[in-house]
Structure 1
């Protein structure tokens, strides 16, 4: 699995994921806030399957 998520993108994904999970845990936004697990995991693992399908790469180390 090749990394395709760069620094700023990674930080934003982790922050947004944690915020959504926190809002869901406090029942502020309801059950759909648990979707924050997706950006959190893609940020942690530095890999986004959608980026692969779309040919996007924000990781400066893996630019073709």
Structure 2
């Protein structure tokens, strides 16, 4: 479970995920028909959840991270 304690979503990435989640939710509500609206809502929920908890399982799977690393002085 130590894997879930490590944040791998940086600040800029969080902002992008929140904006994309809002766009997907608006598109699902206003423009998409039933099967595709459910997909868009699911995508929006996943993007919002990963932005809030600062952890992306796909990033962890591939060893990626958008968090800034502390610089050595």
Query: Aligned-residue CA RMSD in angstroms?
Result: 1.5
- Count of residues in Structure 1 that have an aligned counterpart in Structure 2: 61
Using the size of structure 2 for normalisation, the TM-score is 0.73
Larger radius of gyration: 2
In the aligned structure 2, how far is the partner of 1:61 from the partner of 1:41? Answer: 23
Q: Which runs of 5+ in 1 are unaligned?
A: none
Query: Equivalent residue for 2:66?
Result: 58
Using the size of structure 1 for normalisation, the TM-score is 0.82
- After TM superposition, which residue ranges in structure 1, 4 or more long, deviate above 4 angstroms? none
